[in-house]
Amino acid sequence: MGLVQLLKSQFLCHLIICYVFLVSGLIINLLQLCTLPLWLVSKQAARRINTKLGYCISSQMVAALEWWSGTECTLYTDPKSYRLYGNENAIVVLNHSFEIDFLCGWTFCERFGVLGSSKVLAKKELSYVPVIGWMWYFLEIVFCKRKWEEDRKTVAQSLQNLQDYPENFWFLLYCEGTRFTPKKHQISMQVAESKGLPKLKHHLLPRTKGFWVTVQNLRGTVAAVYDSTLNFRNNETPTLLGVLSGKKYHADLYVRRIPLEQIPEHEVECAAWLHKLYQEKDGFQEHYNQTGRYPGPIMTPPRRPWDLLNWLFWACLLLYPLCLLLARLISSGSMLTILASVALCSAASVGVRWMIGQTEIDRGSGYGNKEVPLKSN
Ligand SMILES: CC/C=C\C/C=C\C/C=C\C/C=C\C/C=C\C/C=C\CCC(=O)SCCNC(=O)CCNC(=O)[C@H](O)C(C)(C)COP(=O)(O)OP(=O)(O)OC[C@H]1O[C@@H](n2cnc3c(N)ncnc32)[C@H](O)[C@@H]1OP(=O)(O)O
Ligand SMILES: CCCCCCCCCCCCCCCC(=O)OC[C@@H](O)COP(=O)(O)O
C-alpha cells in the first residue's frame, strides 16, 4: 500500500470529511430555511439560490468519489445525443443494483452542469435524512410512499410544480423501485410470469405507474428519456464506505437518448413500452457481462474542478475553528468539558454512520420482498 493510500484509509481522514460534510450541510440547510420568505416574493429567484446551495452539499459527495477515491466514470453514448446532455430537461431511467449508483449519477450531473437542479422520485423515508433529505425539500424533490393509492395524487402534483422550473434538470427514476437482491428478483420474476412477461436476468420487474405518471406530467417540460445502464468493471461491489476509504472503482454508464414523443401516452401502452425497454436493458447488461463493454463510442466528459474547490472552501472555513476549539479544550484541562466534547463527537459519528447506512443494500427496505398472491393472466 502506497503512502497516499495509507493516508486515505486513516479513520482521522474519514472523520474530517464527515465533519466538513455534516457541519457545512447543517449550515446550508439553515440557509435554505432562510430562503423561505423569498419564495413568496420571487419563486424563481428562491429556486435558483437553492440549486446553488444544494450544489454545495451534493458536490461534496461527488468530490469524494471523483477526487478522493479517484473513481473513473466512463460514458458510452452517441455523439449526437452527447451534445444535448445538460442543455435540455430529461427523465433518466437507471438500473438500481449498486449502493453508490445515485452517486455515479450525480457525478454525471456535475460534469454536465445540472447537479444543483437534479431531481429524483425518492422514497419518503429519505426525506428525514439530515442534510441530504432536508436539502431535498428545498429542491422540490418528488417523494413517494410506494403506495399507489396515496402517491397517484401527490406525485402528479409535485411533478406539475416542475413545469416552470427555471434551470435545466434531470429527473431520475429507478423504475425497479428498490435495490436488486436475489430474493426481490425471484419474487418479481414470479410476478412477471403471472403477467406473461419475459423474465429478466439482471433487473427487477419495473414498476410502471411511476414512469407513466412522470411522462404524463412532464410532457412538454422534458425533451427526452435517457435510458441509462450502469455497471462496474471486474464485478466490483462499490460502497460509500469504500469511497470514504479512498477505494478506486470503475463505473461504466451506457446512455441512449429517446425523444419523449416516442413514448406512448396511454397507460397500458406506456407500461408495455417500459417492459420492453427493460428487456433491452437486460440485453445490454448481458452484453456487458460477456464483453466487458457496452455498444457504441465512449464520450466521457472530464471532471470539473468546482466540486473540489467547493469542498476546499468549506474545509478551510470549518477546520480552522475546530482546531482552535480543540486547542482551547485541551488547554482548559477541564475533564468534564473534554468528556462532553468526546460524547458529542461520538454522537455525530454515529449519526453519519446511520446516514451512510441508508445507502447499504443489506439494511434496505422490505419493499418487493413479500410474495404477492398471483392472479394468472
Ligand atoms: C448522460 C448521463 C445520464 C444519466 C446520469 C444518471 C443519473 C443522474 C440523474 C439524476 C440524479 C438525481 C438524483 C440522485 C440522488 C439520489 C437518489 C437516491 C435515491 C432515491 C431513489 C429511491 O428512493 S427509489 C424508491 C422510490 N422510487 C420508486 O419506487 C420509483 C418506481 N416506483 C413506481 O413507479 C411505483 O409504481 C410507485 C412508487 C409510483 C407506486 O408503487 P406501488 O408499490 O404502490 O404500486 P405499483 O404499481 O408499483 O405496484 C403494484 C403493481 O406492481 C405489481 N407487483 C407486485 N409485486 C411486484 C414486484 N415484486 N415487482 C414488480 N411488480 C410487482 C403488482 O402486480 C401490481 O401490478 P399492476 O399490474 O396492478 O400495476
Ligand atoms: C462527503 C461524504 C460524506 C458521507 C456521509 C453522508 C452520507 C449520506 C448519504 C445519504 C444519501 C441517501 C441516498 C440513498 C439512496 C438510495 O440508494 O436509496 C435507496 C432507495 O433507492 C431504495 O431503497 P430500498 O428499497 O431500501 O432498496
Residue of 295, 273, 192 whose CA lies nearest to 225? 273
For 275-291, the pLDDT digits (tens) are 999 999 999 999 999 99
**Ligand nearest to the CA of residue 90, numbered in listed order:** 1
For 81-133, the pLDDT digits (tens) are 999 999 999 999 999 999 999 999 999 999 999 999 999 999 999 999 999 99
> What angle do helix axes 43-63 and 101-111 make, rounded to 10 degrees?
120
Residues with CB under 6 Å of ligand 1 are 85, 92, 94, 102, 105-106, 108-109, 118, 120-123, 126, 144, 146-148, 151, 170, 172-175, 177, 187-188, 191, 204-205, 207, 209-211, 226, 228, 255, 368, 372
pLDDT of residue 374: 61
Region of poorest pLDDT, from 138-152, 174-188, 226-240, 363-377: 363-377
Does residue 61 surpass a pLDDT of 90?
A: yes
**pTM, entire model:** 0.96
Cα distance between residue 133 and residue 141, in whole Å = 9
pLDDT of residue 370: 86
C-alpha 204 – ligand 1 centre gap (Å): 10
What number does CATH give the domain 71-304? Answer: 3.40.1130
**Helix/strand/coil for 172:** strand
Average pLDDT of span 357-361: 96
pLDDT of residue 141: 98
**Ligand nearest to the CA of residue 128, numbered in listed order:** 2
pLDDT of residue 255: 98
Share of the chain above pLDDT 90, in %: 89
pLDDT of residue 260: 98
Average pLDDT of span 349-374: 91
Q: Atom of ligand 2 at shortest distance to CA of 240?
A: 4
Residue of 72, 353, 64 whose CA lies nearest to 236? 72
Q: Which residues contact 198 (CB under 8 A, 6 or more apart)?
A: 192, 279
For 164-192, the pLDDT digits (tens) are 999 999 999 999 999 999 999 999 999 99
Does residue 377 surpass a pLDDT of 60?
A: no
Cα distances (angstroms) measured from residue 376 to each of 237, 269, 373:
36, 20, 10
Region of poorest pLDDT, from 1-5, 44-48, 214-218: 1-5
Cα distances (angstroms) measured from residue 41 to each of 28, 46, 111:
21, 9, 32
Does residue 39 surpass a pLDDT of 70?
A: yes
Region of poorest pLDDT, from 116-120, 154-158, 326-330: 326-330
Q: In the numeric block, which cell numbers belong to residue 219?
A: 410532457
Average pLDDT of span 128-141: 97
Residues with CB under 6 Å of ligand 2 are 17-18, 21, 60-61, 64, 102, 123, 126, 129, 132, 174, 178-179, 352, 355-356, 358-359, 364-365, 367
Average pLDDT of span 195-205: 97
pLDDT of residue 348: 87
Q: What is the mean pLDDT of the chain?
A: 95
Of all helices (H) and strands (E), which one includes residue 252? Answer: strand 250-259
Whole-complex ipTM: 0.97
